[in-house]
Amino acid sequence: MSLKQRITEDMKAAMRAKEMDRLGTIRLLLAAVKQKEVDERVEVDDAMLIGIVDKLIKQRKDSISQFTAAGRMDLADKESAELKVLEVYLPQRLSAEEITTAVKAIVAELGAKGPGDMGKVMGAVKAQLAGKADMGLVSAAVKAALAG
């Protein structure tokens, strides 16, 4: 079963169970998928869908930090609940050590040296680790690898 089919089945299950918060988040995700399909005239595969989920999770994390800073814990809690629903659809994430190891291997493979090669390395790393790792951690690991 593809990830898109799984999400659709989860939406149906949330409808039957009358889990309105979960249902709303899943519908939001499916709307983002549909938007990408319409805009780019493509059929979204699992890799693209993981990218969409990643983007929505990043948005939720940004919103949580903004709402927390503004003292709006009610909105931060709502975003946290949505974040938990979305995280279910991501593959197992790599640990910080695994990210560092992968980044060092890619830097060595490309022969990159210094901060000037950041773009080249990030392009290769993104292609390899997309959906498997938090890109914020990946960026920090690339900076550290190129500085050292």
CATH of the domain at 130: 1.10.10.410
Is-contact 45 82, C-beta < 8 A? Answer: no
CATH classification at residue 46:
1.10.1510.10
Q: How far apart are CA 28 and CA 86, in angstroms?
A: 10
Give the integer Cα–Cα distance in Å for 129 and 6.
23
Clarify whether residues 82 and 103 are in a common domain: no
User: What is the pLDDT, as a whole number, of residue 2?
Assistant: 87
Residues 7 and 66 in one domain: yes
Point out the domain boundary residue: 87, 105, 139. 87
Query: What does the block give as tokens for 79?
Result: 């975003």
Inform me whether the pLDDT recorded for 90 exceeds 90.
Answer: no
Mean pLDDT, all residues of the chain: 88
Residues 67 and 124 in one domain: no
Better pLDDT: 42 or 91: 42
Nearby residues of 13 by Cβ (< 8 Å), 6 or more positions away: none
65 lies in the same domain as 103: no
pTM of the model: 0.75
Domain boundary among 87, 115, 130: 87
Q: How confident is the model at residue 27 (pLDDT cuts 50, 70, 90)?
A: very high
- Is residue 8 scored above 90 in pLDDT? yes
- Of 69, 87, 105, the residue at which a domain comes to its end is 87
| Count of domains forming the chain | 2
Q: Are residues 10 and 81 in the same domain?
A: yes
Q: Mean pLDDT throughout 33-40?
A: 94
Q: At residue 65, does pLDDT exceed 90?
A: yes
Q: Alpha helix (H) ranges present in 41-134? A: 46-69, 73-87, 96-110, 118-129
Q: Are residues 8 and 65 in the same domain?
A: yes
Both 77 and 121 in one domain: the answer is no
**Residue 47 lies in domain:** 3-87
